[in-house]
Amino acid sequence: MKSHYRYLAVAGIAALVSVGPTASVVPAHALTLLSTPSTAVCSILSPETVTPGVSLSPQTFAYDSGGETAQLTCLGAFKGFAVTGPGRYSEKGTLTGTCVQAVQGSGPGHFSLTIPTSGGSVHVEGDYTASTLGNVGTEKGTSISSTFQIIPTSGTCVTPVMSVLIVQQSIFQT
């Protein structure tokens, strides 16, 4: 019986030596989580500026939330980790179009978000194409799919719309 314990002890030490002190042992379920795309469904409230403003004349203009200042509330996971609280979101881009109760047009954009998860704070960025018709629109990109409503907070279309509130529902794949 004694030799059996000695064999187990030697085998255990050999296993530790072969792994080495700098290697990390990751459970199989964690590797599955990291290799499987994660999905989060989010609501976003994003005050944004519009430069030079949107009017009845067709033009290209920029929109910008001014950094990760928008409120982000999600259910699901980012990069394999469950969301544990509210996060912050930003977006900026350009649209070409006119003002018809809000804006009509399409153009490129970029988003950035940071959200707390069970694995710590997760940061995600990506590009999308925005398309709008009236005061509603979509954003489509590799990791984002959104619908949104545009609510002007300054300007009326007769006078240029200089700021808006974006009320957005997004699905993120990370």
Question: Which pair of structure tokens corresponds to residue 35?
Answer: 């290799």
Element (H, E) at 5: helix 2-19
- Contact criterion met (CB below 8 Å) for 109 and 85: no
Query: In Å, what is the CA distance from 114 to each residue of 16, 86, 91, 111, 163?
Result: 38, 9, 12, 11, 24
Report pLDDT for 99: 77
pTM for this one?
Answer: 0.76
Report pLDDT for 142: 96
User: How many other C-beta atoms are found inside a 10 Å radius of the C-beta of residue 152?
Assistant: 19
DSSP 97-146: EE-SSS-EEEEEEEEEEEEEETTEEEEEEEEEEEEEETTEEEEEESSEEE
CA 66 to CA 48: how far, in whole Å? 7
In the predicted model, what is the mean pLDDT of residues 132-154?
Answer: 93
CA angle, residues 97, 166, 86, in degrees to nearest 5: 150
The pLDDT tens digits of the residues spanning 117-127 come to 999 999 999 99
Question: Which pair of structure tokens corresponds to residue 110?
Answer: 């970029």
Residue 25 pLDDT > 90, yes or no? no
The pLDDT tens digits of the residues spanning 90-118 come to 999 998 887 764 456 789 999 999 999 99
Higher pLDDT, 87 or 158: 87
CA 139 to CA 136: how far, in whole Å? 11
Enumerate residues 6+ apart whose C-beta is below 8 A from 56.
98, 99, 157, 158
Mean pLDDT of the chain: 82
